[in-house]
Amino acid sequence: MSLAQYGFQKLVLLNSAGYSRAELPLDDSVSIIAPNNTGKTSLINALQFLLILDKRHMDFGAHSVENSKRFYFPDNSAYILLEVLLPSGMAVIGCVGKGLSHDYEYFAYQGSLDLDDYRLDDGKLVAQPKLIARLFECGKPAKIYPQADLRALLYGNRQKQRADDPDLTIFPLEFTSQAATYQRILTRTLRLDRLDSKEVKNYLLEIFKHDLQDRNVDFKSEWDKSFADVNYDKSQYDAVFRNQALISAMEDSQQTRQALRGKIILWRPLIEQALNDWEDYNNSTTEQLRLRLRTSDEEAEALENRQKTIYEDRAEAKTVLKGYEKIESHYQELIIQFQFVSGIAQLQNQRQLLQKQRDELMRSIGNAEQQQSLGAINRNIAKITKEKVDLQRQLQSINNNLYLQLQKLLPTDSFEFLTRLLAKSVLSLPIDQAHAIELNDQTALRSFAALLESRLSANRLELPGLLLDLSALEPNLIIKTAQELEIEISDCERQLLELNALLNSVETLSQQKQNQQKLEQQIAELTNDEKNYEELLSLKVSALERSPAIEALKQKLTLLERETSKLAEQKKAILLAQEKHKADQKELLSQHQRINTARQQRLDQQPPFTILEQLPNFACMDATELAMPTLADRIETYNRDCYKLKQIDEQLNQQLAGLHRDGVNKFQAQDTAEQELDALFNYTAQLSQEQEAIERKARSAVVQVAAILRDLRDSLETFKRRMREFNNKINRRQLSDLKVFKIEPREEDTLVRAIQTLISTSEQVESGNSFDLFDQNTVLDDKELNKAKDILIKEGEARGGLRVEHLFRLVFIIAKENQTPAEFEDIDSAASNGTVLMAKLITGLAMLNQMQDSRKAIKTACYLDEAASLDQRNQRNLIEIAEEFGFTLIFASPEPQITARYCVPIGTTKGKNHISRLNWQILESLADVDN
């Protein structure tokens, strides 16, 4: 043992924790020995007041801090004192009770711990109010320190110390900022209850904090920051891409608009001038047209009049001509009629002849009309003819007829009687062989006549059934003489001739009457003919004058006809002219109205037309002549153009607003909408370059984000390296029977890989590969990259930032000889109690050691309660390891642990524990003794 070693020397309790007095060596390993429930643990725990200081971190197991205060500081003369050898010399750090409140306060001074300093002559302990004075008396100017100040003092935090304070640094940390962690680990190490991987992880993170770029990476905000531009550009790009068709239509509209503006600019002054001139033009043209129309009307009227005259003349001439022609044709007819007539006398002779015939006829007709009727004449003829025949027969049969025979044969009465009965013709019948009558038996005849006579009485003939009076009957035949007969016959013949003539004339009477009429007619005709003939003669005379007159009339008519047709043409021409003038008038009127309307409808008096020249436009190259008659059309076209321009203005504005709504706002910063459009069109035209630019930006954004992640990853790597070193540290000696005892980080694979994805993408992008990459895969569409990003954002958001500690967890890896190493998160379950205890202690000590400034090693103490659970080999190992880490080990157990240098039993008198120097048993190895 070397005296020169800085570190704890001894712990002293006065009137505290049931000890009247306790002196415990701390310059080397100690084994406190006492039965259960004596005060071993209480003694060790007393160190907490001095080393941990902060009540919140103190831990008295089942005992609350409040109770512990009562236990440790029953009154104002209870002390816990620690003597430490520091480079600045010996020093004492103390804690004294303040009395009723069981409160306590800290003090410290340079110098060695002399228990007499705390005891008055009467053997009583110095009370807290007098302590400082007492110590001062003893030549040890002590100072009261508030807890925080003492802490600063012990942990060498010079900034929190006053200049005149002594250097009381017990825990020279590499980073004073780690004091709190150190304290916490110290508490744990002193207490050694559950120590799980999560806690170890937190401590180690604290310990290695300074090696790590311990940033809390707000990945989302980093990403958003780096990609703000890119995302914006991309959103613009996407929006424009989406709307390409619309934008191209807008570009067309803009072209049209500029052309329209040029056109309107060109025409505006011309229209203005023309409108000024219009009234005059309109008036003068109207007047002109009126005059022209009047002239035309007059001409038309004259023409009409002339036409009327012509019609009249023509009608008259036609009438005259017709008369002449009628006469002429009559004349011709007469010529034909009388072509065989040599003169009027011929006709007169004919007529007189006919008149004579007629008169003759009339006379015979008159005769005939006085005669009997035709029937009577015929009966007369027949009677006379019969008489004549009878007479002739009588004449012929004058010699031999029945009458004569009967006359000869019969009595007169009978004869007479028979002559009355028999018809004359019968009586006159000749009697000969060949005739109708035969007189073949004269006797029979006479008898018959006698019979007949008998039947006859008083001139009455009675026949059976018939009575005939004969008195009324004449004798039928009286026989005349031949001469008489001949005269009578010639009379008859004469009478017959006359009668026949009469018959003839009666029979031909109607015929004659017809003849008469015919004759009358002929006579009338002839009379007429005579008259006609006379006319013919007169016409023949007048023919000489008539034909030239006809000729003249015909000629006149032809002329009139010709003039009429000429007039019709003229009339047509005039009509056309009139129509044209009227149309012109109408047209002018309509133009005037249109112009007036258009004048009203002009839009170009307000903006934007008033400032058109200042707006982008295409100079118009139209021919700029504006003839008045075209003004109406022109101004209407002009108005339409204005209207169209206005419409395009509105439409473009709407479309632009629509684009804004759809997110295209990149160009809104331009001064004017027009410039905005231009910028937009240019942008759209170069969309593929834009895409490339965005991709480039995206890449540099990835690089930017990756840089931050690289820090995280590097930290992880550093941590892993530190952990390897740390494992080496705790493995310098074998721990119990463990072949392997390691604390290893296990990466959270998905997160680390996500980070790696981003970093390697960034590297690819930065390296020459970027162009290959560019062709295949854009950063913005990189699925894997996006997935990685999402993972990191999600994790970062859930944890309020990404830190290196999120990238791994710690596992204890433990294996005995012949075992495959197993991973544990909770070391308690990993091995036997003793082994676990040891493992925990070593881990804790190693962590504390890690924090200490190795250049200023000050040995402190740690303890292992219930040390009996470790075997001696392990105890020895543990003592050595603790030594290496700068700790002396305090064992507490009912039995002495001979591996320690000191064995300190606890004595008890009158219910009070006490330990004095005299009880200390120093164990030395034989090797040491030999020395």
Contact set with other proteins (CB under 8 A): 197, 746, 748-751, 753, 787, 791, 794-795, 798-799, 809, 811, 825
Q: What is the pairing mode between strands 30-33 and 887-893? A: parallel
| CB nearer ligand ATP, residue 34 or residue 851 | 34
Minimum separation from the CB atom of position 888 to Mg ion (A): 19
Look at residue 16 and give its three-state secondary structure. strand
Say how many Å lie between the first and final Cα of the chain, rounded: 12
Query: Scanning the structure block, which residue is given the tokens 């044209």?
Result: 580
Q: Provide, rounded to whole angstroms, the least separation between the CB of residue 170 and ligand ATP.
A: 23
Report the number of secondary-structure helices (H) and strands (E) in the chain. 25, 19
Residue 554 binding: pick among Mg ion, ligand ATP, other proteins, none (C-beta 5-8 Å cut-off by kind): none
Residue by residue, DSSP assigns 517-533 as HHHHHHHHHHHHHHHHH
The item of ligand ATP, other proteins, Mg ion, none sharing an interface with residue 809, based on CB under 5 to 8 Å by kind, is: other proteins
Contacts of 891 (CB under 8 A, 6+ apart): 29, 30, 31, 32, 863, 864, 867, 875, 897, 899, 900
Q: Is the CB of 354 or the CB of 792 nearer to other proteins?
A: 792
Closest to other proteins by CB, 387 or 825 = 825
Closer to other proteins by Cβ: residue 135 or 802: 802
Note whether 595 and 631 are within 8 A (CB).
yes
Q: Which does 748 bind (CB under 5 to 8 A by kind): Mg ion, other proteins, ligand ATP, none?
A: other proteins
Measured from the CB atom, the residue of 328 and 828 that comes closer to other proteins is: 828
Which parts of 142-161 interact with Mg ion (CB under 5 A)?
none
User: Among 65-73, 186-194, 203-211, 478-486, which window interacts with ligand ATP (CB under 6 A)?
Assistant: 65-73
- Measured from the CB atom, the residue of 40 and 69 that comes closer to Mg ion is 40
CA distance 724 to 129: 53
Count the Cβ atoms, other than its own, within 10 Å of residue 396.
Answer: 14
Nearer to ligand ATP, 41 or 516 (CB): 41
Q: How far is the CB of 154 from other proteins (least distance, A)?
A: 32
Nearer to ligand ATP, 47 or 485 (CB): 47
Using the minimum distance from each CB to other proteins, give the nearer residue, 544 or 798: 798
Interacting partner of 753 out of Mg ion, other proteins, ligand ATP, none (Cβ under 5 to 8 A depending on kind): other proteins
To other proteins, the closest distance from the beta carbon of 760 in angstroms equals 14
Report in angstroms how near the CB of residue 892 gets to Mg ion at its nearest: 6
Q: Taking the complex as a whole, how short is the minimal distance between the CB of residue 201 and other proteins, in angstroms?
A: 10
Structural contact between residues 7 and 85, judged by C-beta atoms closer than 8 angstroms: yes
Nearer to ligand ATP, 40 or 151 (CB): 40
- Looking at 38-46, 50-58, 63-71, 357-365, which segment touches Mg ion (CB under 5 A)? 38-46
Q: Which residue is nearest to Mg ion (CB)?
A: 41
Q: What φ, ψ does residue 438 adopt, rounded to 5°?
A: -130, 140
Contact set for ligand ATP, span 19-58 (CB under 6 A):
34, 36-42
Q: How far apart are CA 249 and CA 257, in angstroms?
A: 12
CA trace torsion 835, 841, 842, 846 (10° rounding): 160
Q: Is residue 41 close enough to count as binding Mg ion by CB under 5 A? A: yes
- Residue of 63, 134, 314, 571 interacting with ligand ATP (CB under 6 A): 63
Q: Using the minimum distance from each CB to Mg ion, give the nearer residue, 179 or 836.
A: 836
Q: Name which of other proteins, Mg ion, ligand ATP, none residue 791 binds, using a CB cut-off of 5 to 8 Å depending on partner kind.
A: other proteins
Residue 745 Cβ vs other proteins, minimum distance, rounded to whole Å: 11
Distances (CA, A) of 527 to 99, 359, 362, 386: 200, 17, 20, 52
CB of 62 to ligand ATP, least distance (A): 8
- Residue 40 beta carbon to Mg ion: minimum distance, rounded to whole angstroms: 5
| Residue 867 CB, nearest approach to ligand ATP (Å) | 10
Q: How far is CA 847 from CA 109, 207, 843, 844, in A?
A: 29, 7, 6, 5
Give residues 874-903 in contact with ligand ATP (rule: CB under 6 A): 894
Q: Shortest Cβ distance from residue 886 to Mg ion (Å)? A: 25
Size of interface with Mg ion, in residues (CB under 5 A): 2
798 binding partner (options other proteins, ligand ATP, Mg ion, none; Cβ < 5 to 8 Å by kind): other proteins
**Partner that binds at residue 197, options ligand ATP, other proteins, Mg ion, none, CB closer than 5 to 8 Å by kind:** other proteins
Give the bridge partners for 63, in sequence order. 60
Nearest to other proteins of 194, 733 (CB atom): 194
DSSP assignments along 595-624, one per residue? HHHHHHH--TTSTTGGGGGGS--PPP----
Site for ligand ATP in 493-552 (CB under 6 A): none
Q: Please say which residue, 760 or 919, places its beta carbon nearer to ligand ATP.
A: 919
Rounded CA-CA distance 172/150 in Å is 14
Check binding of 920 to ligand ATP (CB under 6 A): no
User: Can you tell me the distance from the alpha carbon of 904 to that of 33, in angstroms, rounded to the nearest whole number?
Assistant: 6
Alpha helices in 610-686 (DSSP H): 631-661, 673-685
Which of residues 196 and 486 has its CB atom nearest to other proteins in the complex? 196
Select from ligand ATP, other proteins, Mg ion, none the partner in contact with residue 623, using the beta carbon and a kind-dependent cut-off of 5 to 8 Å. Answer: none
Closest distance to ligand ATP from the beta carbon of 894 (Å): 6
- Least Å distance, CB 42 to ligand ATP, is 3
Q: How far is the CB of 791 from other proteins (least distance, A)?
A: 7
Strand partners, 744: 811
Q: How far is the CB of 191 from ligand ATP (least distance, A)?
A: 12
The residue count for binding ligand ATP (CB under 6 A) is 15
Tell whether omega for the bond before 607 is within 30 degrees of 0, i.e. cis. no
Q: 42 contacts which partner out of Mg ion, other proteins, ligand ATP, none, CB within 5 to 8 A by kind? A: ligand ATP
Residue with the two structure tokens 């392997």: 740
- Looking at beta carbons only, is 416 or 825 nearer to other proteins? 825
Residue 398, classed as helix, strand or coil, is: coil
In the numeric block, which tokens belong to residue 50?
A: 């001095």
Handedness of CA 655, 658, 664, 667 (dihedral sign): positive
Write out the DSSP string of 61-86. TTB-HHHHHHHH-SSTT-EEEEEEEE
Sheet containing strand 907-909, strands side by side: 143-145, 104-110, 89-97, 79-86, 7-16, 19-25, 912-915, 907-909
CB of 823 vs other proteins, minimal distance in Å: 9
Closest separation between CB of residue 824 and Mg ion, Å?
27
C-beta separation of 843 from 813 below 8 A: no
Helix axes 631-661, 509-601, angle to 10 degrees: 50
Residue 18, interface with ligand ATP (CB under 6 A)? yes
Nearer to ligand ATP, 706 or 867 (CB): 867
Nearer to other proteins, 811 or 836 (CB): 811
Distance CA 266, CA 483 (A): 160
What CA dihedral angle connects 687, 688, 689 and 690, to 10 degrees? 50
How many residues does this entry show for the chain? 931
Other C-beta atoms within 10 Å of 144: how many?
A: 14
- Residue 10 interacts, among other proteins, ligand ATP, Mg ion, none and using kind-specific CB cut-offs from 5 to 8 Å, with none
DSSP class of 129: G
Which residues have a Cβ under 8 Å from the Cβ of 296 and sit 6 or more positions away? Answer: 574, 577, 578, 581
Binding site for Mg ion (CB under 5 A): 40-41
Return residues touching ligand ATP (CB under 6 A).
Answer: 18, 34, 36-42, 60, 63, 67-68, 71, 894
